[in-house]
Amino acid sequence: MSKKVSTSVSKKASNRSSQPTTTAWRYYVVLAIVALIYAGLLARSAYIQIIEPDMLKKQGDMRSLRTAANTVQRGSIVDRNGDELAISVPVETVWADPKIIMDNNALTMTEHWQALADVLGKDVNKLTTRVIRNPRKRFVYLERKISPAMANYIRELKIPGIHLRKESKRFYPTGEISAHVVGFTNVDDKGIEGVERVYDQLLTGKGGAKRFRKDAKGRKIEILSVKEAQAAQDITLTIDQRIQAIAYKELKGAVQAFKATSGSVVVADIHTGEILAMTNSPSYNPNNRRNTAIHRFRNRAITDIYEPGSTMKPLTALTALEFGSAKVNTVIDTSPGWMRLGGRRVNDPINRGKLSIEDILVTSSNMGTTKLALSVPKNFLLDKFFDAGFADSTGTDLIGESSGMMHDRQRWSKFELATLSWGYGLAITPMQLARFYATLANGGIKRELSIIKGDKKAGERVFSKKNSLAITQMLETVVDHHVQKAKVDGYRVGGKTGTSFKAVAGGYGNDYVGLFAGVAPISDPKVVVVVVINDPGGDLYHGGEVAAPVFSRVMQGALRVLNVAPDSSAKLASNSELRVSKSTQKIAKQEANDV
């Protein structure tokens, strides 16, 4: 009995020892789970590093890579003597970090925000709304390019999330005097008008940048790349600011005195084609363009075109001399003072009888000019007008320059050729007119005009030297006998007036354009001045009445500033009084400041 019991007990113990324990089973489960975890991590690691590593690289770079920009200040614009016309001055920009503001509950600093709004000239509610509108945004402009004094005040407010960034702002010392030439930039310092726009790339330069990696404490641990900055270039203009100031002052006064819509003056060097002055009225202040009418930004000297009227008669006379149908001493019979061409009437105010070419220019005879024009072949006449550059830009490369309007068609009636000969049927800019008179006075060589100092351009002969200078000499008689208001004390001056009706739809209206174009000194021409007074509103509207006086004063100022010796025999005894001294140049600069 006892043997049976012991045998069954031993069998039960043997069965228990052959089955796994609970502890062993759990061990294997945990081991399997750990193995699966490691396998999952290994698979994930392989997936990230081999199949799709870019995402983590990007995340890492966002935390460790930084780029430090090195901005370049915009270049200056100066006149031919180095006087500054456009410079960059240091300013600061106010910006906000809405996330920092909201995290620090900075909007509860109501007095500080009111002070910020007051100094920026803004409504405090609108200011805070810009922050609340995008609470997780990291950058919002509050005000661009404020003065250093305002920046210091804002810095003292110590509003969390309100920051300042250094920038530069364009400043124009000469203001409205040179506004149309220099132009201006927008808030991002990009040129959008005038020289600022044409040479924006040179003036801007290229900023540099340093790319580096930092550690968790913000220390630089690796410099990855360095891009060197390219310095901006300064631009030197051909403009002489002393002459520019004189021209603007005289033009502005004339436009106001004659109640004109607008006016332009161009002054250029006859032998180099350099523009010494180019101004328009009305102008604008480039330092404060708020509420300025957009039409004031237009550089009328190169954009607006006018029928030049009698200022074209010297070209017609020159054409006849060039073809050989007339000589300097040729006499033209203009009797009976009128003629009909294709049913249209051409006439002078009175019967002037027999006139020399010089008399035709002095009396501004339409009859005489018409007969000279009809004495040459049509194509020859038209070619000379094209040779003068009345269908081309003048070479300044300024934005918006018009090439004028000169028809290139096969059929021209005799009446149309007649009107063309005395300045109707074409439209040109004041700049184109200045280039023609420079071509005439330098002996027939046409040069492109330049606005950048040192940008000397080659010329081409379009008229013979002999005939060009002969017409130039005749223009002196025009001034002496017919346009007394254009005279300049101490200098021999030549020029021609022009008065034209303004074209309207279907014909001509009752508005006028008064012009005067002339050169001096006649003994050795150096300077050309063109004056245009558009739509004078008073009783005086002829070129000799509204434009010639402006020409006289501008030419006198230019010759004195350039220290050109007098050449009038009646005034040679007073040479020492007329030459420019240092004190005279100071007066010219003072006039610039007064304007």
Determine the pLDDT at residue 528: 98
Tell whether 566 and 522 lie within a shared domain: yes
Residue with tokens 């005799």: 414
Q: Does the predicted model carry a pTM greater than 0.75?
A: yes
DSSP string, 38-86: HHHHHHHHHIIIII--HHHHHHHHHHHEEEEEE--PPPPEE-TTS-EEE
The helix/strand/coil state of 358 is helix
Return the structure tokens found at 291: 């509420």
Q: Which residues contact 379 (CB under 8 A, 6 or more apart)?
A: none
CA distances from 100 to 104, 139, 183 (A): 6, 10, 40
Q: Is residue 28 part of a domain?
A: no
Tell whether 218 and 262 lie within a shared domain: no
Determine the pLDDT at residue 578: 40
The separation between CA 14 and the C-alpha centre of its own chain, rounded to angstroms, equals 107
Tell whether 245 and 196 lie within a shared domain: no
CA distances from 409 to 315, 316, 382 (A): 20, 19, 10
The answer to whether 80 and 224 have CB atoms below 8 angstroms apart is: no
Determine the pLDDT at residue 587: 36
Tell whether 214 and 253 lie within a shared domain: no
The separation between CA 76 and the C-alpha centre of its own chain, rounded to angstroms, equals 14
Tell whether 213 and 316 lie within a shared domain: no
Percentage with pLDDT > 70 across the chain: 85
- The CB-based long-range contact list for 406-414 (8 Å cut-off, 24+ gap) reads 408/382, 412/378, 412/382, 413/341, 413/342, 414/341, 414/342, 414/374
At CA 234, angle to CA 230 and CA 236, rounded to 5? 155
Tell whether 209 and 82 lie within a shared domain: yes
Tell whether 111 and 215 lie within a shared domain: yes
The answer to whether 467 and 318 have CB atoms below 8 angstroms apart is: yes
Determine the pLDDT at residue 595: 39
Q: Is residue 180 part of a domain?
A: yes
Determine the pLDDT at residue 574: 42
Q: Is residue 59 part of a domain?
A: no
Q: Is residue 228 part of a domain?
A: yes
Q: Is residue 36 part of a domain?
A: no
Distance CA 316, CA 383 (A): 11
Q: Is residue 227 part of a domain?
A: yes
Tell whether 258 and 224 lie within a shared domain: no
Tell whether 458 and 507 lie within a shared domain: yes
Q: Which residues of 366-402 are buried (b: 16+ CB within 10 A; e: fewer)?
A: bbbbbbbbbbbebeebbebbebbbbbebbbbbbbebb
Determine the pLDDT at residue 55: 65
Query: Do you find a cis peptide bond into 314, omega within 30 degrees of 0?
Result: no
Please give the single-letter amino acid code of residue 229. A
The answer to whether 530 and 515 have CB atoms below 8 angstroms apart is: yes
Residues of the chain scoring pLDDT < 50: 1-3, 5, 571-595
Q: How many domains does the chain have?
A: 2
Annotated catalytic residues are 310
Residue with tokens 């002095």: 362
Q: Is residue 21 part of a domain?
A: no
Computed over its alpha carbons, how large is the radius of gyration of the chain?
Answer: 40
Determine the pLDDT at residue 64: 66
Q: Which residues contact 112 (CB under 8 A, 6 or more apart)?
A: 157, 158, 159
Tell whether 122 and 96 lie within a shared domain: yes
Residue of 582, 558, 498 whose CA lies nearest to 533: 498
Q: Is 221 left (phi over 0), alpha (psi -120 to 50) or beta?
A: alpha
The answer to whether 207 and 229 have CB atoms below 8 angstroms apart is: yes
Residue of 311, 310, 329 whose CA lies nearest to 320: 329
β-strands 235-236, 77-78: how paired?
parallel
Q: How many CB atoms within 10 Å of residue 195? A: 27
Residue with tokens 């003994």: 523
Identify the CATH number of the domain in which residue 485 sits: 3.40.710.10
Please give the single-letter amino acid code of residue 391. A
Determine the pLDDT at residue 417: 94
Return the structure tokens found at 33: 């789970």
Q: Which of 219, 236, 253 is the last residue of a domain?
A: 236
What is the extent of the structural domain holding 172?
68-236
Q: How many CB atoms within 10 Å of residue 449? A: 28
Determine the pLDDT at residue 517: 97
Tell whether 180 and 73 lie within a shared domain: yes
Question: H-type helices in 483-547, by residue range?
Answer: 543-546
Identify the CATH number of the domain in which residue 223 sits: 3.90.1310.10
Distance CA 164, CA 184 (A): 25
Tell whether 273 and 232 lie within a shared domain: no
Q: Is residue 319 part of a domain?
A: yes
